[in-house]
């Protein structure tokens, strides 16, 4: 399937997801305010960390090897069984730990131990998060874009209904509970969709761990764990720093800005996951890889820049339309955020090659350094020039990351292809 066709099909799911996310932004803005946004951001980072760990941190590996072993169903089943068993075991252990440590965790994430029951709700549904991620990874690896899109649409609609209902009825607490559990409800829809395929058998997801599959998935588990525990933790610290230094409303403005970027970049991020990861896993020629990446730049980068420019010019309208008047101070964050988003896309296209080729060491080093750099730049630039430069730190960080990706990945494609072929 071509990049353009994948993008068009994926655009359907992304449109629904974007509409859902933007609609939720409005509801949350009206019912929880800027300070509530900061608490929601803290929970979302916690959910990201724990769900990545609960899934065995292997969904990316499942996608890669499902695509790679397209003609070897027995090998696929070993990967799925190992990933499923690992997800079940890890999610059970994590759920117990979350329940036992609910009070200190609530104090760290929310600065409010009375919100600990939110984490209990999350712990009780963690295993369903993990298996939803696993099934979506298989659909992606099989390039079954139609079912993948359908599963994501149902997930978005469930998110909209649950979050709106609980937020309107229970305020901030309801919003937090809904964000803690909605993906587990999405698992039901994903499961029904997968059960209608020829390849689905429950026995292929639970069983003995295969040593070779465990080794293969282990590379991705390590990369995913670092991703799950680096950027989300960094965001927790940045949000805590902004809240302490400038006030929790300012932390909420930053969170709102980040959520807006996430919404409009969703088409790019999901296309990279749906098309590029399986595609880069298949290609073994440096010239073909280079052409694939350049083709991506020609299509995706102009769209990103154009979208960013339109959003910047319409920033006042967007704030009133998607948030509320209490969020007007965030207008000062738009310019550098849009620049940073474009630089992020530049770096992502090259960074996905590290995932596609399982370049574990390089991925870990660059991910950790990028995260440390983001936090350090945020503190330094906001101390130097004020709160508004929090997005300048973001843009500067991704400029540095893009430069590193160019020299470490794009310029070394021949060496990278040779080393992965030997391994």
Q: Which residue has the higher pLDDT, 51 or 282?
A: 51
Which of 371, 383, 384, 323 has its CA nearest to residue 33? 323
Highest mean pLDDT among 6-15, 25-34, 102-111, 393-402: 393-402
Q: How far apart are CA 144 and CA 138, in angstroms?
A: 9
- What pLDDT is stored for residue 354 in this prediction? 74
- What pLDDT is stored for residue 363 in this prediction? 81
Q: Which pLDDT tens digit goes with each residue over 354-412?
A: 766 667 788 888 889 999 999 999 999 999 999 999 999 999 999 999 999 888 877 76
Q: Across residues 183-207, what is the average pLDDT?
A: 89
- What pLDDT is stored for residue 27 in this prediction? 86
Query: Angle at the Cα of 226 (from 114 to 204), degrees rounded to 5?
Result: 90
- What pLDDT is stored for residue 6 in this prediction? 62
Q: How far apart are CA 244 and CA 209, in angstroms?
A: 46
Q: Given a cut of 90, is residue 50 above it in pLDDT?
A: no
Q: Which residue has the higher pLDDT, 7 or 215?
A: 215
Q: Given a cut of 70, is residue 3 above it in pLDDT?
A: no
- What pLDDT is stored for residue 400 in this prediction? 96
Query: Angle at the Cα of 207 (from 205 to 212), degrees rounded to 5?
Result: 90
- What pLDDT is stored for residue 116 in this prediction? 93
Q: Given a cut of 60, is residue 332 above it in pLDDT?
A: yes
- What pLDDT is stored for residue 421 in this prediction? 47
Q: Given a cut of 70, is residue 119 above it in pLDDT?
A: yes
Give me the chain's average pLDDT, please. Answer: 85
- What pLDDT is stored for residue 266 in this prediction? 79
Report in angstroms the alpha-carbon separations of 359 from 292, 362, 416, 417: 18, 6, 8, 10
Q: Across residues 198-222, what is the average pLDDT?
A: 85
């Amino acid at each position: 399937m071509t990049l353009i066709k994948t993008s068009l099909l994926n655009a359907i799911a992304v449109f629904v997801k974007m509409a859902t996310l933007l609609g939720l932004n409005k509801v949350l803005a009206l019912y929880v305010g800027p300070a509530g946004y900061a608490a929601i951001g803290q929970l979302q980072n916690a959910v990201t960390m724990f769900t990545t760990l609960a899934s065995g941190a292997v969904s990316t590996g499942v996608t890669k090897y499902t695509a790679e072993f397209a003609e070897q169903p027995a090998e696929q089943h070993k990967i799925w069984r190992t990933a499923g068993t690992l997800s079940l075991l890890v999610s059970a252990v994590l759920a117990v730990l979350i329940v036992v440590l609910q009070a200190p965790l609530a104090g760290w994430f929310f600065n409010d131990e009375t919100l600990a029951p939110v984490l209990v709700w999350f712990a009780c549904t963690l295993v369903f998060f993990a298996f939803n991620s696993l099934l979506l990874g298989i659909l992606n690896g099989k390039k079954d874009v139609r079912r993948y899109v359908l599963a994501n649409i149902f997930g978005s609609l469930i998110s909209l209904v649950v979050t709106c209902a609980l937020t309107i009825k229970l305020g901030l607490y309801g919003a937090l509970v809904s964000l803690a559990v909605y993906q587990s409800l999405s698992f039901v829809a994903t499961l029904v969709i997968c059960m209608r395929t020829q390849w689905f058998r429950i026995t292929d997801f639970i069983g003995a761990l295969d040593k070779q599959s465990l080794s293969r998935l282990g590379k991705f588990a390590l990369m995913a764990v670092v991703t799950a525990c680096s950027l989300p933790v960094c965001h927790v610290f940045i949000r805590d720093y902004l809240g302490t230094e400038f006030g929790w409303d300012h932390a909420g403005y930053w969170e709102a800005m980040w959520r807006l970027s996430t919404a409009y970049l969703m088409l790019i991020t999901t296309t990279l996951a749906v098309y590029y990861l399986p595609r880069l896993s298949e290609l073994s020629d440096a010239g073909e890889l280079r052409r694939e990446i350049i083709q991506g730049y020609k299509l995706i980068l102009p769209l990103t820049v154009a979208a960013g420019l339109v959003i910047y010019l319409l920033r006042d309208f967007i704030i009133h339309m998607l948030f509320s008047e209490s969020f007007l101070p965030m207008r000062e964050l738009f310019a550098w955020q849009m620049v940073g988003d474009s630089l992020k896309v530049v770096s992502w296209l090259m960074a996905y090659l590290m995932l596609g080729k399982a370049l574990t060491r390089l991925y870990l080093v660059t991910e950790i350094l990028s995260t440390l750099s983001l936090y350090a730049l945020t503190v330094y630039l906001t101390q130097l020039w004020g709160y508004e430069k929090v997005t300048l730190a973001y843009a500067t960080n991704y400029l540095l990351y893009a430069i590193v990706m160019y020299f470490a990945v794009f310029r070394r494609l021949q060496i990278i292809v040779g080393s992965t072929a030997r391994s």
